[in-house]
Amino acid sequence: MDDSQKTKDALLEELQDLRKALRQNSADLEQFTYVASHDLRAPLRGISNLSQWLEEDLGPQLSQGSRRQMELLRGRVQRMEGMLDGLLDYSRAGRVHHKPEPVPVDRLIHETLERLAPGPSARLEVGPGMPVLVTERPALQQVFQHLLSNALKHAGREDVRIRVEVEATPAFHHFSVADDGQGISSRYHEKIWSPFQTLVSRDKVEGAGMGLCVIKKLVESRGGRTWVESAEGAGATFHFTWPGSEERLT
């Protein structure tokens, strides 16, 4: 064996070791996130319960201002629990896979919106050609749930209009979820996909800032990609590509 072949073999072995270490580090990080998000729930519940008991014990001795502070404290606990839920969703997104099954996407979208209980003036339009995909139903539903929820929360008004469309490509289906809400400035188009990122104060719009991060991991772990088209004041269209063979109905 010549020196060049030995060098190639050594580099290949080193690359394999690095890949193995990277996979292990990723698994360790996901496990840490999963355990930490579980273990933090107990003290949070304790804080919430203690504030409730204090309020009940002190009764009329507690001023209106102090009662308001107790409510704010419990609100912050709920926000932290929401962030932990987001971390759990994120840790599961890349490692938990489900058995593919036929999924009528049109029905899935409508069922997902119903669970979110939008106001009576909100409108959903589903474009033609929605397929019946043989795919992971829980993961695809989670993607649509986050996107529809974001459209409702950030619209800035009750009569938001949401339109979902699809375009079939050779390897993927390209879905888009558009709304006529407040829109997103181009300087935030990359930032919004990072963990715990919100463009509006959480005191105005409650949220953990994990939804789009979870979507990105769900989609990319299945070979797809995500992006957004938007301008401030002109609504937003979120795009993602999703694998899955289309079931032909006879």
**CATH, residue 167:** 3.30.565.10
Q: Which residues contact 182 (CB under 8 A, 6 or more apart)?
A: 154, 155, 156, 232, 233, 235
User: Residue 43 and residue 148: Cα distance in Å, rounded?
Assistant: 32
* Domain finish residue from 65, 93, 121: 93
Buried b (16+ CB within 10 A) or exposed e, 213-222: bbbbbbbeeb
Q: Does pLDDT of 130 surpass 80?
A: yes
* β partners of residue 242: 173
Mark whether 130 and 201 lie in a shared domain.
Answer: yes
Mark whether 127 and 20 lie in a shared domain.
Answer: no
The pLDDT of residue 250 is 45
Mark whether 75 and 161 lie in a shared domain.
Answer: no
User: Residue 160 and residue 12: Cα distance in Å, rounded?
Assistant: 54
Q: Which domain holds residue 26?
A: 3-93
Mark whether 19 and 113 lie in a shared domain.
Answer: no
Percent of the residues in the chain that have a pLDDT greater than 70, as a whole number:
83
Report residue 219 as tokens. Answer: 């989609």
User: Residue 236 and residue 182: Cα distance in Å, rounded?
Assistant: 8
CATH number at residue 25: 1.10.287
Global pTM reads 0.72
Mark whether 50 and 106 lie in a shared domain.
Answer: no
The pLDDT of residue 92 is 73
Q: Does pLDDT of 95 surpass 80?
A: no
**Mean pLDDT along residues 115-128:** 90
Distance of CA 80 to CAs 37, 86, 142, 209, Å? 10, 10, 20, 11
The residue behind tokens 């050609």 is: 129
124: helix, strand or coil: strand
Per-residue pLDDT tens digits for 209-228: 678 888 999 999 899 999 99
Q: Name the more confident of 201 and 52.
A: 52
* Domain finish residue from 36, 62, 93: 93
User: Residue 232 and residue 250: Cα distance in Å, rounded?
Assistant: 45
Q: Does pLDDT of 141 surpass 60?
A: yes
Q: Name the more confident of 19 and 196.
A: 19
174: helix, strand or coil: strand
Mark whether 78 and 141 lie in a shared domain.
Answer: no
Q: How confident is the model at residue 206 (pLDDT cuts 50, 70, 90)?
A: low
* Domain finish residue from 93, 122, 148: 93
**Mean pLDDT along residues 172-195:** 88
159: helix, strand or coil: coil
Mark whether 45 and 126 lie in a shared domain.
Answer: no
Q: How confident is the model at residue 200 (pLDDT cuts 50, 70, 90)?
A: low
Mark whether 122 and 182 lie in a shared domain.
Answer: yes
231: helix, strand or coil: coil
Report residue 41 as tokens. Answer: 């729930």
Mark whether 149 and 239 lie in a shared domain.
Answer: yes
User: Residue 119 and residue 123: Cα distance in Å, rounded?
Assistant: 9
Q: Structurally, how many domains does the chain consist of?
A: 2
Buried b (16+ CB within 10 A) or exposed e, 122-151: bebebeeebbbbebbbebbbbbbbbbbbbb
**Candidate from 18-32, 67-81, 180-194, 220-234 with smallest mean pLDDT:** 18-32
Report residue 104 as tokens. Answer: 């009528």
